[in-house]
Amino acid sequence: GAGVSQSPSNKVTEKGKDVELRCDPISGHTALYWYRQSLGQGLEFLIYFQGNSAPDKSGLPSDRFSAERTGGSVSTLTIQRTQQEDSAVYLCASKPGTYGYTFGSGTRLTVV
């Protein structure tokens, strides 16, 4: 596609429920990143994919967080048993090589 697409754009969920966030990167971009941004805060690195492999999962906050990428394209970030502190905007970014990243518009997650 023309840009990085994320869905849903907004998600309200009850505490304890599982959620899945989707990222559809720009076609051909091999690297894909997930970040989290709390209100008024900077970008917190979560996980990075090169192709379908995730060489760096160091940013995942807990074992309730997992992510996968299939076919070198779409990625899904799953949060199990959501907590209120998981509320944030989850941003996905992809890049073609050594140049700049293109970010999606994000998923705003609210845990109530």
Partner 1 sequence: GQQVMQIPQYQHVQEGEDFTTYCNSSTTLSNIQWYKQRPGGHPVFLIQLVKSGEVKKQKRLTFQFGEAKKNSSLHITATQTTDVGTYFCAGPGKLSFGAGTTVTVRA
Q: Whole-angstrom Cα distance, residue 64 to residue 79?
A: 6
> Near partner 1 by CB under 8 A, which window of 10-18, 37-45, 63-71, 77-85?
37-45
Q: Which of 45, 61, 78, 85 binds partner 1 (CB under 8 A)?
A: 45
Of residues 41 and 62, the one with the C-beta less far from partner 1:
41
* Residue 66 found at the interface with partner 1 (CB under 8 A): no
Residue 80 contacts residue 64 (beta carbons within 8 Å): yes
Residue 96: half-sphere exposure toward Cβ, Cα within 13 Å: 6
Q: Which of 7, 13, 52, 105 binds partner 1 (CB under 8 A)?
A: 105
* Residue 1 found at the interface with partner 1 (CB under 8 A): no
Largest CA distance in the chain: 40
Phi, psi of 41, deg, nearest 5: -110, 175
Of residues 14 and 97, the one with the C-beta less far from partner 1:
97
* Residue 2 found at the interface with partner 1 (CB under 8 A): no
* Residue 65 found at the interface with partner 1 (CB under 8 A): no
Q: Whole-angstrom Cα distance, residue 7 to residue 76?
A: 10
